Amino acid sequence: MTRVEKIRECLQVLAPVALEITDQSHLHKGHPGARDGRGHFHVRIVSQRFENQSKLNRHKQVYQALGDLMHTEIHALGINALTPVETKLTEDKT
């Protein structure tokens, strides 16, 4: 199972209606934190569970869902955590 697949599996607990995971590890070759083999990723996750949650609490939910992967597979993680309504509002602006 790839790291992206592991991340996707862990995040299912948040019941995402949309989930995009980008492996950005290739952009960080030689980076001191990447030398141990862990990767750099960006996650865009849309879930109703983020409704009425602060950005900090949304990120905490993502980190909690990823659990040990944050220590074994992931060195850096960018997170864009939205509700379905927020996604709709963003799409309407474009």
The architecture that CATH gives domain 3-93 is 2-Layer Sandwich (3.30)
pLDDT of residue 62: 98
Across-strand partners of 82? 46
Q: Where are the domains of the chain?
A: 3-93
Mean pLDDT, consecutive 10-residue stretches, the chain (94 aa), reads: 96 98 80 71 97 98 97 93 88 60
Spatial CA neighbour of 42 closest among 12, 75, 72, 10 = 75
